[in-house]
Amino acid sequence: MPYALILAATISFASGYGLSHKIDRAEIISLELAIQQQKDEAKATLSAAQFRVTEAEHQAIQANNQLDQEHETNIKDIIALHDKLGAMRMRDPGRRASCSGSVSASANTGKSSREAFSGELSAELSGFLLNQAFAADKVTEYANKCYQFVVEQNCGIINQFISRGN
């Protein structure tokens, strides 16, 4: 009889252990399946994010190329306008011909009346003003670049963040 009790206790402990092992194994398998499913979802999310990053980089490259082309044409236009302005003489619209003189300017000075009363600025002043206008164009271009970098590109923080892969 004591052997029967020991045998019954051993069988009950063994069956309990076996049942516990099967339940644990079923839980482990369900957790492994859940982990595998999460890995698959993470891979899909990662590939979608990588595709979006690649597409954004492609669009950024196209935008940069377009901006470079526009920048080159703007520089060419500015240089052409600068050259065109350099060939012209500026006029002072506030300067008027004087009516107090009884002799025309072309009679004694050897200048035509158009030259004497044209209101043109001196060549030195015209050159100075044109140089200042060209320098102002350069400052404006630099200010626009600064604005684009700080406001539109957020000081390049996003680009650095993307390039690091974070």
Give pLDDT tens digits for 142-166.
998 888 888 877 776 665 555 555 4
pLDDT for residue 41 = 96
Residue pair 93/119 in contact (Cβ under 8 Å)? The answer is yes
pTM of the model: 0.41
Estimate the share of the chain in helix, then strand, then coil, as percent rounded to the nearest 5. Answer: 80, 0, 20
Quick one: residue 39, left, alpha or beta (phi over 0 = left, psi -120 to 50 = alpha)? alpha
CA-nearest of 83, 68, 69 to 134 is: 83
What is the identity of the amino acid at 28? I
pLDDT for residue 66 = 92
